[in-house]
Chain A
C-alpha cells in the first residue's frame, strides 16, 4: 500500500475543534455585512452586489485571513506538541510531501470557509429580501479567492512552522490581510501574497480579476506558494528536529 501523507493529515481533522471557527467567523462576517447593508439601504442600491461587498469587506480584509492563520497554526501546532515531529520525520515521508499535504488540507479548509461564506451570502440576501438568486459570477469570485488563498496559506504555514504559538501567526495573517486590502487598493495586489484573495473577492468593488489579469494572478499565486513551500521544506529538512518534550 502506498504511503499517504495527505490521508494522515485528513485523519488528524477528525473531531478537530478548529472546524468551529470555519462556521463562526463567516457567520460573524455575514452578520456584520448584513447589518451594514440593511442599515444603509438608502445609499446601497445595487442589490446583491452591494450585499456582497458588505459581506466580503471584512471577510477579505481580516476574517478569512484570520481563518487561514488559525488553520495553519492548528495544523502546525499538532506537530509542535510534544514529540510529534519525531514521529513525522522518522516516517518514510519526505519533508516536501508532509508540507504539501498540510498545504492541501489547509486549502481544503479554506474551501469550506469560502463555501460557508457563499451559503451565508445567499441566505442573508434572501433574509434581506433581495429578489431571486445572485449570478454565477459570485461563485467564480469565490473559486478565484480559493485559488489565490493558496499563497496566503503557504506563507502562513511557514510562519506557523517558525513561530510555535497559536495566536501570533493568526495576528500576522490578519495584519497581512489588512495590508493586502490596501495593496490591492493601490494596485499592488499581485506583489503581496495576502492581497490575492482580496483581489479575487472584489470586496471593494474596484473590479474582479478579469481575463486579462488572470494569468498574472495565477502566476503570482503559484510563485508565492512555491517559494514559501520551498523555504519551509528547507527549514524542515535542513534543521534538527526540535521537540517540546
Chain B
C-alpha cells in the first residue's frame, strides 16, 4: 500500500506517562483517514509528532516518503498543511493579513490567499480584525491557512470544532472532496464517530495512546456482528425449539443464517403452530464496535 504517512512504534512519554505507545499508523495516499479516539487518547500528540512539533520518545514517522527528524521536518512541512489543536491567528490582523503571514512563511504566490479565502467563504471579512471573529470564523481561517498552496497532505485536528451545523456539513463535504479535487491526502482527527463515518475511507481508532484498530471503513462495518430477531405468538416455546435466547422487548434472538436455513426455521415454527409476527435482521452499529474496541463510548 502506498502510504503518505507511516509510523513504526511511535511513542511519546512525559515522565512515566505514555501518551502515545508503539503506534503503527498507515495513511494510504489519496485517502481521507479518520483518526478516531476519545479526548486525551493521543491523537493531537501523534499529529504533532508527524509535523516535528513534538519529538518522539521512541519509534519513527515517515511522512511523504521522508523520515521525520529535527532536520528534515522543515522540508517535509513545505508539502503539508495543518490545523492542530485550535486555529493559530494574530488577533490584531485581518483574515487576509493572517494568511499573508502564512503565505510569506511558505513562499506561496499572492493568488493563493484569494483562493483559500473563497474556499472557506471568508472573502467578505475585509478590514475586520480577527479579534472580532466568531469561533466558527476563526476555525474557517485556520482551515484556509492549512489549505493555502494546495498541500499534498493535510493534517486536521478536530476541524469542525466551533462551527454551526451548516458549517460542519460544509467543511465535511470539503474534506471529502479534497482527494479527488485537489489530489490531497487528509488525516483528520475527531472524537465523533458519526463525523469520521461521514468523511473517511480509512479509520484508525486510538485509545490510551494505542492503536486499537485501523483499516478501510468498509472492513470496520464488516466486523459488525449480525443476527435475526423474531417476534412470535409464543416466544418462549420458539426460543426453546430454536435453541435461542429471548431478547429484551419480547424478541427471540437467533444467529444470522443463510436464506435457506431461515426458510426452514420459519416453516418449522409454523408446523409447531407458532405464528411469526415479525422477523428482522439486526447488526451492530459502529458505535457498538467502537465501544468494544476501546471500552469507551464515542460522542455522537
Residue numbers of A with Cβ under 8 A of B are 1-5, 7-8, 11-12, 14-17, 78, 81-94, 237-241, 243, 245
What are 13 A-to-B residue pairs whose CB atoms are below 8 Å? A3-B107, A17-B92, A82-B86, A82-B87, A82-B88, A83-B87, A83-B88, A90-B53, A90-B77, A90-B80, A91-B77, A91-B102, A238-B70
Whether the pair B54, A241 counts as a contact (CB closer than 8 A) is yes
Whether the pair B93, A240 counts as a contact (CB closer than 8 A) is no
How far is A241 from B92 in the complex, measured between Cα atoms in Å?
Answer: 23
Residues on the A chain within 8 Å of B159, using CB: none
Whether the pair B74, A1 counts as a contact (CB closer than 8 A) is no
Residues on the B chain within 8 Å of A239, using CB: 55
Residues on the B chain within 8 Å of A89, using CB: 51-53
Mark each residue of chain B from 89 to 118: 1 if its CB lies under 8 Å from any CB of chain A, else 0. 111110001001110111111000000000
Q: Shortest CB–CB separation between residue A181 and chain B, in angstroms?
A: 34
Q: Shortest CB–CB separation between residue B241 and chain A, in angstroms?
A: 61
How far is A189 from B74 in the complex, measured between Cα atoms in Å?
Answer: 39
Whether the pair A16, B86 counts as a contact (CB closer than 8 A) is no
Interface of A is mostly: loop
Residues on the A chain within 8 Å of B252, using CB: none
Residues on the A chain within 8 Å of B109, using CB: 1
Q: Is B48 close to A, CB under 8 A?
A: yes
Whether the pair B78, A92 counts as a contact (CB closer than 8 A) is yes
Whether the pair B84, A94 counts as a contact (CB closer than 8 A) is no
Q: Shortest CB–CB separation between residue A245 and chain B, in angstroms?
A: 5
Whether the pair A243, B85 counts as a contact (CB closer than 8 A) is yes
Whether the pair A86, B74 counts as a contact (CB closer than 8 A) is no
**13 new A-B pairs (CB below 8 Å) besides A14-B93, A86-B48?**
A1-B109, A2-B107, A3-B106, A16-B92, A78-B90, A82-B87, A83-B84, A84-B90, A86-B51, A86-B85, A240-B48, A241-B48, A241-B54
Q: Which of A14, A84, A86, A88 has the most CB of B within 10 A?
A: A86
Contacts of B16-67 to chain A: CB distance below 8 A: 48, 51-55
Whether the pair A92, B84 counts as a contact (CB closer than 8 A) is no
How far is A92 from B74 in the complex, measured between Cα atoms in Å?
Answer: 4
How far is A4 from B105 in the complex, measured between Cα atoms in Å?
Answer: 5
Whether the pair A3, B82 counts as a contact (CB closer than 8 A) is no
Q: Is B145 close to A, CB under 8 A?
A: yes
Residues on the B chain within 8 Å of A11, using CB: 93, 97, 100-101, 104
How far is A92 from B106 in the complex, measured between Cα atoms in Å?
Answer: 6
Whether the pair B90, A12 counts as a contact (CB closer than 8 A) is yes
Partner of A1, one of B54, B77, B80, B108: B108
Q: Name the 10 nearest CB pairs between A and B, nearest first.
A: A3-B107, A87-B88, A92-B78, A8-B104, A91-B105, A241-B53, A7-B104, A240-B54, A84-B88, A90-B51
How far is A1 from B111 in the complex, measured between Cα atoms in Å?
Answer: 12
Whether the pair B85, A83 counts as a contact (CB closer than 8 A) is yes
Q: Is B75 close to A, CB under 8 A?
A: yes
Q: Shortest CB–CB separation between residue B105 and chain A, in angstroms?
A: 4
Residues on the B chain within 8 Å of A88, using CB: 88, 105
Partner of B86, one of A3, A91, A237, A245: A245
